[in-house]
Chains A and B, each alone.
Chain A
Amino acid sequence: MIIFDAVSKRYGDGQTALIDVSFQLGRGEIAFVTGHSGAGKSTLLKLILALEPCSAGRVFVDDVDIGNLSRRKIPYFRRKIGAVFQDHQLLMDRTVGENVALPLEISGFPARDTRRRVRAALDKVGLLTKERLYPASLSGGEQQRIGIARAVVNRPRVILADEPTGNLDPELSAEVLRVFEQFKAVGVSLLVATHDTSLIKRFPYRVLHLDEGELIDDSTMTI
C-alpha cells in the first residue's frame, strides 16, 4: 500500500531530513514510526500526504507514484488518506460534528449519509455526546480524538497519525489503538508516528525506527 524506494529528502536550507529510506507497508498492516524528534518522522508522513516533494527516490501510495501527481490531482489523492495531526488542525468556528464532517463535505456526500457516518466516527472515539459542542470547549485529549474521528470518517485506505496519543492517558491511548485496529481489520494500512514506548510494548506491531533521517531498524514483530 505504501512503498518508499530509496527516498531522500533535503530541505531548501540544506537540512537533510531523510536519507535513502526504503520500506513497504502492506494492506491491513500497522507500523509505528519511532525516533527522536527531528529524526524525520514528520517528514516521512508529509511525503506520503504530498505536502512535500522528495529529493530523491520514489514514494508510492496505493500504486500511485506521488512524484507524478499533478497539482490538480493532489486533493483527490489526499482524500484516500486519513491524517491525524499532532496539533489537531481543527476548525475552531465549527462544531465537533462539522469538523468531523469536513472530509465528507469536501467529497460531496449526501447530508443523510454524512450525519450517519459522522455519528459512527464520533461513537468510535467516544465523543458522540459532544457532537454539537465547539472544539475550544473540549480538552486537548478530546480535540485529538476529534482529529481521529475526522481522519477515519471518510473510510480511507491509509491512515497516518502523528503522535495521536500524545495528549491521552494510557487508557485512552489504548482505546485509540483499538479503533485503529478495527480499520486494520478491514484492510486499511496505518502508519503511527509516536515515541510512546509503553504503547509500542502493549501493541507489538512493526516498528520503523528512524535516526537522523536513516531507517536503522525495521522490526516486524509477530503476534
Chain B
Amino acid sequence: MGERTQNSTEPGILATRLAAHRKDAVRSVWRLLQEPFSTLMTVLVVGIALLLPVVLMLVYANLEGVLAEFQSSARITLYLEEDTTESEGIELSEYLLTLADTELTAYVSPSQALAEFSSAVGFGGSLSELADNPLPATIIVRPTPAGMADVERLAAELGQLPDVELVQLDSEWISRLLAITGVLATTARLASLIVLTGLCLIVGNTIKQGIDNRRAEILVVKLVGGTAGFIARPFLYAGAIIGLAGGVVACILLGLLTLGLSDPLTDLVGLYGGELRVSGLDAVAMLGVVLAGGGIGWLAALVASLLRIAALEP
C-alpha cells in the first residue's frame, strides 16, 4: 500500500528511486529513438538555436581582446608651437615620460619628420624643393594601457601644456569601434534572450506533442494514482536529453565555424595592425554549453508537461 513506501526509511529506498529514474531515462531515450527523424530535427534546431548566443558571446569576447590590443597601440601626437626649440622639445618629452600615464615618449624634430614623411610617401624629390620645412616638431606619446576614457583624458591634459599647439589622438576610430561594440553587445544579449525563449518554446512544444501522443497512457496512470510528477518524469528526461544533444550539436557547429573563420579573421585584424588568436571554447566552456542546453530543455519540459498533464483528466 502507498503509505508503506512513503514511511519507509530503509536504505533500499534510494536504490529503488534510482532504479525508477534509470528506467524512466532509458524509456525516454527509447521513445526518442522510436522517432529518429523528428528527434534529430528537434536536436538540430535546438543546437542551432543554442549556437547563436554562443557565437555572439564569442565574437564579443574576441572583439574585446582585439580592442585591448588596439588600445595598447593608441598614440597621442602632440604638435608643438612653431617657436619651440629642439632642446625645449626634448625636455618636454623627458618630462612627459615621468608622468604616470605615459609609457613611452619620443621627440621628433621637424627635420626628422620631413625625412620620415618623404621616405614614407615617396615625394622625396618634390619635398626637397620646398624652401622651408613646413612640418612642426612633434612628441609622440604612448600611454600606458588603460581604458579609452583615460587615454582621452590624458590627451586633453596634454593639450593644456604651454608649448603644445595641437593634440591629436589617433585612436578615435577605436572609440567608435568600442561604442559600436557596446551596441553589438546589447543587441547580442537581446537576440540571445529571444532565441533562448524560442528554444524553450520549441522544446516545450515537442514535449507537449509527446504528452498528447501518450494521452491514453497518462489517463490510465492517473486512474491508478500516478502523480503529475511521476507522469512528467520521462518527459523531463526527454527534454533534458534533447537539450544536452542540442548542446553537443552547438559545440560541433561552433568548432567548424571557428576552424573556418580563424584564418580570414586573423588576416583581417592583421590589416588593422592588431594580432588575433581566434579563441574558440575550451573544454569547460563546452561542457557549460552542453549543460546549459540540458538545463534549458529540462526547464522547458517541466513547464510544458506540468501544464499539459494538469489539463488531462480521466
Contact = CB atoms under 8 A, between A and B. Distances in A.
Nearest to A153: B224
Contacts of A185: none
A90 B314 CA distance: 14
Interface in A78-114: 78-81, 83, 85, 89-91, 93, 102-103, 105-111
A183 B43 CA distance: 50
A22 to B, nearest CB: 26
Contacts of B221: 102, 106
A78 B227 CA distance: 10
Given A51-B314, A108-B13, A108-B17, A76 B2 contact: yes
A49 interface: yes
A38 interface: no
B126 interface: no
Given A108-B17, A108-B20, A79 B223 contact: no
B20 A80 contact: no
Given A108-B5, A109-B5, A155-B1, A89 B223 contact: yes
A154 interface: yes
B1 A79 contact: yes
Contacts of B313: 51
Contact of B224 (A109, A150, A155, A157): A150
A140 B12 CA distance: 38
A81 B223 CA distance: 10
B186 interface: no
B16 A111 contact: yes
Contacts of B228: 75
Contacts of A89: 219-220, 223
B226 interface: yes
A110 B16 contact: yes
A78 to B, nearest CB: 4
B224 A83 contact: yes
Contacts of B13: 108, 110
A85 B224 contact: no
B25 to A, nearest CB: 14
Contacts of A155: 1
A79 B227 CA distance: 10
Interface residues of A, number: 30
Given A91-B217, A156-B1, A108 B16 contact: yes
A108 B15 CA distance: 10
Nearest to A71: B310
A63 to B, nearest CB: 14
B177 interface: no
A111 B225 contact: no
Contacts of A77: 225
Nearest to A104: B5
B297 to A, nearest CB: 24
Contacts of B230: 75, 106
Nearest to B24: A105
A79 B221 CA distance: 11
Contact of A85 (B15, B16, B223): B223
Given A51-B314, A80-B1, A108-B16, A91 B220 contact: yes
Interface in B206-255: 217, 219-228, 230
B141 to A, nearest CB: 72
A79 B20 contact: no
Interface string A108-123: 1111000000000000
A154 B224 CA distance: 10
Nearest to A73: B227
A156 B2 CA distance: 9
B257 interface: no
Given A51-B314, A111-B16, A75 B226 contact: yes
A164 B16 CA distance: 33
Given A110-B12, A110-B16, A111-B19, A154 B220 contact: no
Given A102-B220, A106-B225, 10 more contacts: A75-B226, A89-B219, A91-B217, A107-B2, A107-B5, A110-B12, A150-B224, A154-B1, A155-B1, A157-B1
15 contacts: A75-B225, A75-B227, A78-B222, A79-B1, A83-B223, A83-B224, A90-B220, A91-B217, A103-B224, A105-B20, A106-B226, A107-B1, A107-B2, A108-B16, A108-B17
